Amino acid sequence: MASFDEKAVLKKVFNYILLIALAVVILAPFFIGIWTSFLPTMDIAKGNLFSTNLSLDNYAAAFTKTPILRYLLNTLVISTITMIAQLIFCSMSAYAFVFLKFKFRKTIFTLFLVTMMLPFEAEIIPNFATVKQMGLLDNYAVLIIPFLTSAFGTFMLRQSFMQTPIELKEASDIEGLNHFQFYWNIVLSYNKISMITLGAYSFLGSWNQYLWPMLTTFSNNSRVIQNGLKQLQSEETFNDWGMIQASAAIIVIPTIIVLFIGQHYFKSGMNEGAVK
């Protein structure tokens, strides 16, 4: 009987060791990256990773010598606009599929589903020609307009809207709300969680775009952060690792902080779900 107790304790200790070891491995690239961002490039180049010459010089250099702030601003603006546009247009089309009755509804919905099977990566040639013809190259618009809506977002919101109690619609009909009022006042607020999820998803999706901006933007005025980082990395012939790591840290730290804060909400949501 005592052995059961001892075994349980041993198992716990083993579990914690495993948990910590895995955390260290997963976080190592962060730690190494962020640690080296405080070191002079000379020390990094010499392999002197335990140097004590810690400073914020790399950060100062990143901010002053590179257009990283401009890249950040570009990305922020583009991602925010894309997010808002997707929230509006996806929710509108999702609303139409769930609450409106019209000819070809099924056909059009199937079209949307088909869209989800077609990878954007496979369509870059004609799309490039299109935006070039529209004169949008090297402009915020070229990174926003193709992504104003998304079939995935529409599909996801449709699933969520379908869970809206039918009584809400009936009550609104009795009250005399028109479709726009019902959509705006009731459906959107009832499905807040899905809207927030889609918002986060589309923002991150836009933030992580790489191939399309690489093709369509070529000046610092419209270059986004992902491609900007590559630019910095390839421009530095002598590989100024300290500064490159600092730039990476500047980009990743805000997202991590947001994630930490979000985790709190996420966790409480999880707990609610897990209560027995």
> Within 219-258, which residues bind another protein (CB under 8 A)?
225-230, 233, 239, 241, 244-245, 247-248, 251-252, 255-256, 258
The residue within the footprint of another protein, chosen from 93, 172, 217, 222 (CB under 8 A), is 93
Q: Please list, in sequence order, all residues whose beta carbon lies within 8 angstroms of the beta carbon of residue 63, skipping any fewer than 6 positions away.
A: 69, 250
Tell the smallest beta-carbon distance from residue 56 to another protein (Å).
18
Tell the smallest beta-carbon distance from residue 131 to another protein (Å).
9
- In contact, 235 and 65? CB cutoff 8 Å: no
Tell the smallest beta-carbon distance from residue 77 to another protein (Å).
16
Tell me which residues in 9-48 interact with another protein (CB under 8 A): 12, 15-16, 18-19, 22-23, 26-27, 29-30, 32-33, 36, 44-47
| C-alpha–C-alpha distance, residues 242 and 245, integer Å | 5
- Is residue 265 close enough to count as binding another protein by CB under 8 A? no
Q: Between the CA of residue 42 and those of 46, 54, 101, 242, what are the distances in Å?
A: 6, 12, 68, 9
Tell the smallest beta-carbon distance from residue 177 to another protein (Å).
12
The residue within the footprint of another protein, chosen from 52, 107, 166, 189 (CB under 8 A), is 166
DSSP string, 201-223: HHHHHHHT--HHHHHH--STTT-
For the purposes of burial, counting CB atoms within 10 Å of the CB of 135, is it exposed (0-12), middle (13-18) or buried (19 or more)?
A: exposed
- Is residue 73 close enough to count as binding another protein by CB under 8 A? no
Nearer to another protein, 130 or 220 (CB): 130
- Is residue 135 close enough to count as binding another protein by CB under 8 A? no
Tell the smallest beta-carbon distance from residue 245 to another protein (Å).
7
- In contact, 203 and 80? CB cutoff 8 Å: yes
- Is residue 164 close enough to count as binding another protein by CB under 8 A? no
- In contact, 216 and 157? CB cutoff 8 Å: no
Count residues binding another protein (CB under 8 A): 111
The token pair at 200 is 């986060």
Nearer to another protein, 110 or 221 (CB): 110
Question: How far separated are the first and last CA of the chain, in Å rounded?
Answer: 29
Part of the chain binding another protein (CB under 8 A), chosen from 52-60, 62-70, 135-143, 266-274 = 266-274
Nearer to another protein, 59 or 155 (CB): 155
DSSP SS3 for 137: coil
The token pair at 163 is 């869970």
The token pair at 40 is 């002079």
- Is residue 171 close enough to count as binding another protein by CB under 8 A? no
Half-sphere exposure of 12 toward its Cβ, with a 13 Å CA cutoff?
6
The residue within the footprint of another protein, chosen from 120, 185, 221, 265 (CB under 8 A), is 120
The residue within the footprint of another protein, chosen from 10, 60, 118, 171 (CB under 8 A), is 118
